[in-house]
Amino acid sequence: MNRLPSVDFLKWFYPGMHIKRWLVLVVIGVAIMTFGLSYVVREAYLEGLRFPGFMYWLTLQFIPRYVRGAMFMTGAVGLILFSIWKLNQSIISALAPHRDNSASIVNTIYARRFLGRGPKIVAIGGGTGLSSLLRGLKEYTGNLTAIVTVADDGGSSGVLRRELGVRPPGDVRNCIAALADAEPLVTKLFQYRFEDGTGLAGHSFGNLFIVAMSGVVGNFEDAIRQTGRVLAVRGQIIPSTLENVTLSARTSDYRTIHGESRITEDVRQNGNGSRIHQVYLQPHNPPAHPEAVRAILDADLIVLGPGSLYTSVLPNLLVQGIRRSLLASSAPKIYVCNVATQHGETDGFSVRDHVAAIQQHVGKGCLHYVLANDNLSETIPRAEQSRPVALDDDINNGLRLVKADVVSEENRYHHDSVKLAQAVMAVYYNHDASRLPGPEPEEALVPSLE
């Protein structure tokens, strides 16, 4: 049984939909036609044309004229509403026969019109944390830019990187899946990971798709763009650099580790006495992607994280062009702290420790707000060696600590995309630009663009 018309119909009349003017024009046309028909009928009646007897009952002449007029107008409005509702269903069934039955064309138009006017938000990071953030933010704006690291050298991405010489597609794939407006089945297909097969086991379909697209269009960045077009991505995904970079780390016990996938594992194997002290890229000064720099400078809001601190968030900020444009931007900058520590990377870290690591690598002017989870639990299921990130009373260096419940109840090791997006947007809409520290002089940005 088809659902009845819902309150969604009222969205046709929202400002900015570019629909009301045409509805009004239709009503005017119908009214003019009605007036013309009434003149013809009146003239025929005055000329003595005899109507069949049943017309007396059909036109409700036994009811006063004012009441009849009100009844006819009410019936006409009902027919118009019903016809628009059925027209909406017919258009959807013709243009998108496999679309969710609960979808409506008015919601599609509403999303396109209003999300296109949303704030320009740049999210910097990688891994599942960034994709969780993007999945929530895409319901607030269509002007999203995800800047992702290309330092991944483990798993399927690492194999493809070593064997084919391509940039690691894993983080890009996660972002595309999170921002896709395509069919849910297509998104699941994009994230599907092969479990068997010689040479295929461990690879995800999305990784192979992006690599194949790179071969078709000729380069990695065009492959990202075309893949996003195929999956109707809301926003854009940009690598922080196109250089073939390697992430390296220095530990507290004076060791040097090369390779993103080896850093955490090496620290875990060396016990509690070893901790990551500093990370850096090789080559040391890779050029930033120009579109990433432009997106940061044009942003209304910049969000760092969530994600693995040393292996997902910081690798982007180690690219000098990204770091300099971040410092030069006048937009509010939020760091979304992880909800749980990561074994081998941030063991025992509090919110303040996460912030200190970022400021150590980037500088103290890179953040304005720190968003931290305040829904804490002593244990985290399926992550016995991780603990909730401890909250501090405040954050030094003039940063504003924002506490909110942003943890997923199903998996307390991750953020809830809906809660997180709500908290981030609340910071954006409530921030006072006049109280934010000023950006660095633009002259300092020049080297990053060379």
Q: How confident is the model at residue 312 (pLDDT cuts 50, 70, 90)?
A: very high
Q: What is the 3-state secondary structure (H, E, C) of the chain?
A: CCCCCCHHHHHHHCCCCCCHHHHHHHHHHHHHHHHHHHHHHHHHHHCCCCCCCHHHHHCCCCCCHHHHHHHHHHHHHHHHHHHHHHHHHHHHHHHCCCCCCCCCHHHHHHHHHHHCCCCCEEEEECHHHHHHHHHHHCCCCCCEEEEECCCCCCHHHHHHHHHHCCCCCHHHHHHHHHHECCCHHHHHHHHCECCCCCCCCCCEHHHHHHHHHHHHHCCHHHHHHHHHHHCCECCEEEECCCCCCEEEEEECCCCEEECHHHHHHHHHHCCCCCCEEEEEEECCCCCCCHHHHHHHHHCCEEEECCCCHHHHHHHHHCCHHHHHHHHHCCCCEEEECCCECCCCCCCCCEHHHHHHHHHHHHCCCCCCEEEEECCCCCCCCCCCCCCECECCCCCCCCCEEEEECCECCCCCCCECHHHHHHHHHHHHHHCCHHHCCCCCCHHHHHHHHC
Quick: pLDDT tens for 140-150: 998 999 999 99
Quick: pLDDT tens for 109-139: 666 677 888 999 999 998 889 999 999 999 8
Q: State whether 271 and 255 are in the same domain.
A: yes
372 burial level (CB within 10 Å; 0-12, 13-18, 19+): buried
Q: State whether 395 and 248 are in the same domain.
A: yes
Share of the chain above pLDDT 90, in %: 44
**Phi, psi (5° rounding) for residue 64?**
-55, 150
404 burial level (CB within 10 Å; 0-12, 13-18, 19+): middle
Residue 220 lies in a domain: no
Quick: pLDDT tens for 273-282: 788 999 999 9
The β-bridge relationship of strands 246-251 and 276-282 is: antiparallel
CATH of the domain at 313: 3.40.50.10680
Q: Give the integer Cα–Cα distance in Å for 132 and 135.
A: 5
Number of structural domains, the chain?
2
Higher-confidence residue: 270 or 2?
Answer: 270
Residue 334 lies in a domain: yes
Q: State whether 312 and 396 are in the same domain.
A: yes
Q: State whether 252 and 266 are in the same domain.
A: yes
Residue 311 lies in a domain: yes
pLDDT at position 421: 96
Higher-confidence residue: 196 or 447?
Answer: 196
Residue 99 lies in a domain: yes
The β-bridge relationship of strands 256-258 and 246-251 is: antiparallel
Q: At what angle do helices 417-430 and 127-137 cross, to 10 degrees?
A: 70
Out of 8-22, 154-168, 184-198, least confident range: 8-22
Q: State whether 145 and 12 are in the same domain.
A: no
Residue 89 lies in a domain: yes
Q: Considering all CA atoms of the chain, what is the largest pairwise distance in Å, rounded to the nearest integer?
A: 109
Q: State whether 70 and 136 are in the same domain.
A: no
Quick: pLDDT tens for 59-110: 777 788 778 778 878 888 888 778 877 776 676 666 555 455 455 566 666 6
pLDDT at position 256: 93
For residue 209, pLDDT beyond 60: yes
Q: State whether 263 and 335 are in the same domain.
A: yes
Q: State whether 140 and 15 are in the same domain.
A: no
Q: State whether 339 and 432 are in the same domain.
A: yes
Over the chain, what is the mean pLDDT? Answer: 83
Q: State whether 249 and 110 are in the same domain.
A: no
Under a CB-based contact definition with an 8 Å cutoff, are residues 134 and 234 in contact? no
Using left for φ > 0, alpha for ψ between -120 and 50, and beta otherwise, residue 344 falls in left
Q: Please name which of 449, 151, 90, 432 lies closest in space to residue 279, comparing C-alpha atoms.
A: 151
Quick: pLDDT tens for 329-348: 999 999 999 999 998 899 88
94, 114, 134 — which closes off a domain?
A: 114
Q: State whether 268 and 326 are in the same domain.
A: yes
pLDDT at position 5: 46
For residue 314, pLDDT beyond 90: yes
Parent domain of 333? 116-149+240-449
Quick: pLDDT tens for 371-419: 999 998 766 666 567 889 999 877 766 789 999 999 998 888 899 999 9
Q: Please name which of 314, 303, 309 lies closest in space to residue 420, comparing C-alpha atoms.
A: 303
Tokens read off for 102: 């609960």
Q: Give the integer Cα–Cα distance in Å for 183 and 55.
A: 53
Q: How confident is the model at residue 445 (pLDDT cuts 50, 70, 90)?
A: very low
Residue 424 lies in a domain: yes
Residue 406 lies in a domain: yes
pLDDT at position 289: 95
Residues 6+ apart with CB under 8 A from 195: 201
How distant, in Å, are the alpha carbons of 51, 120, 121, 135, 337 from that of 355?
86, 24, 21, 24, 8
69, 87, 114 — which closes off a domain?
A: 114
Q: Give the integer Cα–Cα distance in Å for 295 and 299.
A: 6
Handedness of CA 35, 39, 41, 46 (dihedral sign): positive
Q: How confident is the model at residue 2 (pLDDT cuts 50, 70, 90)?
A: very low
Residues 6+ apart with CB under 8 A from 56: 62
Residues 6+ apart with CB under 8 A from 342: 264, 308, 309, 386
Q: State whether 102 and 141 are in the same domain.
A: no
Residue 408 lies in a domain: yes
